[in-house]
Structure 1
Amino acid sequence: MTPELIKALLKPAAYLESTGSVVLRQTHVSYLFLTDSFVYKVKKPVNFGFLNFSTVDRRRFYCEEEVRLNSRLSPELYLGVVELRQAPEGGAFHGSGAVIDYAVKMKRLPEERMLARLLEEGAVGAADLEAIARTLGAFHLEARRGPEIDACGTVAAVTRNWEENFREAAPFVGTTLPQGDLAVVRGYVDRFLHESGALIQDRLQKGFVRECDGDVHSANICLAERVYIFDCIEFNERFRYSDTAADTAFLLMDLEFSGRAELGAPFLATYRTVTGDDVPPRLLDFYRAYRAFVRGKVESLEAGDPQVPQAQREEARSRAERYFRLCRGYALRSALSPTLVLTCGLMGSGKSTFAAELAFELGCALYRGDVVRKELFTPRRAPEAYDGGIYTPECNRATYRELLSRAEQALAQGRSVVVDSTFRRKSDRHTFAELAKRHGARCVVVELTCDTETVRQRLLAREGNPDEVSDGRWELFAAQQAEYEAPETGEAIAVDGALPVRQVVDAALRKMGLLP
């Protein structure tokens, strides 16, 4: 689409209905023109192999397919296919000029009720996910079956989809996808297909391979007067014909990506009640990895689209890196026995940032000493002296007792857990190590060290930040350093906390034996 045509379509006069403004948004495959009440979606003339919109006839066909297929879940949302015509100003969605392209016309949904936005704002609860599960579950129960659909649910077909993804991700190796991470994911996929391919075949035989949605993630769900699930895969049958578990895994993965993994439990419980489908956990993880890889690839394509605004491209690049990182995490989890990870180190050494990233990648429960302390004693920051206020010996003991209790609950459920605190006393580290031993879990102490100047800069940067939970301050650093009981030789894994967090995590994972 030429700049002149885009400029014409940003004018209200290009639309039949009255509108006060028109906003343009782009993805790697579409232009979306948003009026006050409607959305006009024009497909870009691109060919990525798995998607081919390179001709006007193809774009018209896939516009029609988009309306037909999305009418299964959101019939009142999709209004039809409209013609984009030549006009004196360049183009318009009315008039008698020559047809130059086509668009899908949709009702505009309230952006403040989009699931992705609600997740970002922390405004989503279990009841919301239960409602989504009921909608998706009912859809899956009625979804079409047939021999041509079953052909896409075999082990060979799943293998082909993965191999296609690996080929198409090749241009992103070394940018959004490190070569070593690709090797880890490849190894995991090969092992799973070799050792657990029978799970895929069993699902096929039991009738779980159907004509699904194919793109069930938070950006395509709106919680308005009812649950809307929209923008399914219309451009490639192979991506729509799949195990229903691949659809549910998409949203479960996206909840983890958004930092709300805990919402997966009510979603999955309700989905199982509606459908009776008790998906094996390791198969769900396999499909979560697949979906994370696909999203990494899609975001990488957007990051490389020169027509997309630079700021949006940078955001897409960051998301791509994180999706690929999560995909690697699913691969690593498959080899992770129940593990208790303790952070250890002085204030400002990067413990909490490291703990959050490690827990994200490995799917661990995460408990922060700073958060637990405030939950037990006060919601306010505490400006008292180093060993005063909520930092007295008694408060310290109570905080570690609560951390121990929460860690035990997670280990009892067979979950790995990260406990983030200074663990500056050897006795505390020993107590937690004994807990892990009682539950047959591995205990790993990760000591983060950091040069003093970096610590000083970090602690000074925290001051005045209302979202900062930690009370660590530069004037308290020397006092903590004086009483710190450093781990003995062989007691802990030492990593440099001054490095970027992903390098810190990689270093720890290598020393834990999870990365080569």
Structure 2
Amino acid sequence: MKEIDVRIMAVDGSYLNHRLRGRIEETHISWVILSKDYAFKIKKPLKLDFLDFSTLGLRKKNCEKELDLNRRFSSIYLAVLPIRFVNKKWVIGESPKGPVSEYCVQMKKMQVSKRLDNMFHLQKVKAKSIKSLAMQIASFHHKAMKTFNRFEIQKHREIFNEISTIIPTVKEHIDTHHANIVLKAIRWSDRFLKHYGDRIQTRITNGFQRDVHGDLHCGNIFLYSKPVLFDCIEFNDQFRQIDVLYELAFLCMDFERFHQKHLSQAFLQAYGQYFSAFQVNEDYTLFIYFKSLRANIRAKVHALQFEQTENQKEAALQLSEVQKYLELMNSYINQVPL
């Protein structure tokens, strides 16, 4: 589907003969239509270095995989539904007429105000809730399947160093100083991986690499009395089969992005009561590296969203996020001189 079709469907489309009258939330790889009771997630027809949604068949396959993977820890995932264009109207769900134009993942609609990033903006996040979240994630990690993909230094270098692709955007739209942070980070990461590669492999051998969520940041958690995790990575197994410390690093980096380091510390302390992810002192240094890599990836995501949008206000917001994440990445790098 094209963006214009999704926007028309959000307003005038139907599900079970009821008009959607929804609104759209957009990421760099999907559109989500929020109706009264449900969320319908549609994958953009994209082919990027790390995913391929370029055909209807691939989008259906990834919808089905998303459903299965997220059901490991969330009850809000309901079904994969077809979308058809029938009698000049977009229809979600089974219909006796017309070929399937698209597929979507159907979820129960959650309160947007309960999403963790929004709760931070509203200053409504309490340490008690964060400890409950830590217990839930520790339980999931403890049960998650162990994976034993070997550490390959070149592959890890490429993951970190892909941030070089945003240098032209940063130079043109922010400044040279922040572009130089990117160059500094790449040199530092290369040295770090060479120095700590053996420890990363030892953790894999010891079972700390697991099939987890892969994208566990504040925007993918609803903080109810029992937290709701959602939107794990389905499109690339290697992004999801990671060291549990790398998973924790994303969330803790996000807490620190919101200037809530005390909550990051409370989270790790509560998590550690249920699952011991830190084994030796070197692991704390690895954790800092993983936080820098997570800030790196968020900077890239916001740079991509900046390039995709034509809205000037949205573009300015995305550039601001790029700058903040680059500065956060730099702060982690400065904690581990090499």
Q: Is TM more than 0.5 here?
A: yes
Structure 2 residue 157 is matched with structure 1 residue 159: yes
TM-score by length of 2: 0.91
Contact 1:51 1:236 in 2 (8 A): yes
Alignment CA distance shift 1:46-1:283 (3 Å): same
State the SS of the aligned residue for 1:232: coil
- Secondary structure of residue in 1 paired with 2:41: strand
Provide the C-alpha distance between the structure 1 equivalents of 2:91 and 2:315, rounded to a whole number of angstroms.
28
Query: SS at 2:308's partner residue?
Result: coil
CA drift of 1:38 comes to 0.5
- Partners in 1 of 2:58 and 2:117 — Cα distance? 30
What residue number does 1:102 align with? Answer: 103
Q: CA deviation at 1:335?
A: 3.0
Which of 1 and 2 has higher RCO (CA within 8 Å, sep 6+)?
A: 2
Instruction: In structure 2, give the amino acid aligned to 1:100.
Output: S
Equivalent in the alignment of 1:324: 326
**One-letter code of the match for 1:261?**
K
In 1: Cα distance, 2:13 partner to 2:45 partner = 25
Q: Does the aligned pair in 1 maintain the 2:11–2:23 contact within 8 Å?
A: no
Q: Which residue in 2 is equivalent to 1:248? A: 248
Q: Measure the CA separation in 2 of the matches of 1:4 and 1:185.
A: 39
Equivalent position of 1:233 in the other structure: 233
Cα displacement (A) at 1:295: 0.6
Cα distance change, pair 170–66 in 1 and its aligned pair in 2 (3 A):
farther
- Which of 288, 293, 317 aligns to 2:291? It is 288
* Partner in structure 2 of residue 315 of structure 1: 317
Normalized against structure 1, the TM-score is what? 0.61
Aligned to 1:143: 144
2 CA distance for matches of 1:189 and 1:131?
33
State the match for 1:491 in structure 2. none
Residue 4 (structure 1) shift: 4.9
Q: Which residue pairs with 1:84 in the alignment?
A: 83
The 5-angstrom pairing of residues 463-474 of structure 1 reads none
Aligned to 2:9: 9
Label 1:40 to 1:20 Cα distance change in 2 as closer, same or farther (>3 A). Answer: closer
Corresponding residue for 1:509?
A: none
| Structure 1 unaligned regions, length at least 5 | 337-516
- Pick from 320, 334, 337 the counterpart of residue 336 of structure 2: 334
Q: SS of 1:145's equivalent?
A: coil
Q: Could you say which residue in structure 1 is the equivalent of 2:29?
A: 29
Q: CA deviation at 1:176?
A: 5.4
Farther-moved stretch of structure 1 (122-131 vs 212-221) = 122-131
| Aligned-partner SS, 1:210 | strand
**Partners of 1:187 and 1:103 in 2: how far apart?**
41
Q: What does residue range 301-380 of structure 1 map to in structure 2 within 5 Å?
A: 301-306=304-309, 309-335=311-337
- After superposition, where does 1:385-400 map in structure 2 within 5 Å? none
Give structure 2 stretches of 5+ with no counterpart.
none
Question: RMSD between aligned alpha carbons?
Answer: 2.1
CA distance in 2, matches of 1:86, 1:23: 19
Q: CA deviation at 1:301?
A: 0.8
Residue 112 in structure 1 maps to residue 109 in structure 2: no
Greater radius of gyration (CA)? 1
Percentage identity across paired residues of the two chains:
28
Question: After the TM superposition, which residues 406-417 of structure 1 pair with which residues of structure 2 at under 5 Å, given as runs?
Answer: none
- Contact 2:167–2:179 under 8 Å retained in 1: no
Task: Decide whether the 8 Å contact of 1:155 with 1:200 is kept in 2.
Answer: no
Q: Shift of the alpha carbon at 1:73?
A: 1.3
How does 1:170-319 map onto structure 2 within 5 Å? 170-174=167-171, 175=173, 178-278=178-278, 280-306=283-309, 309-319=311-321
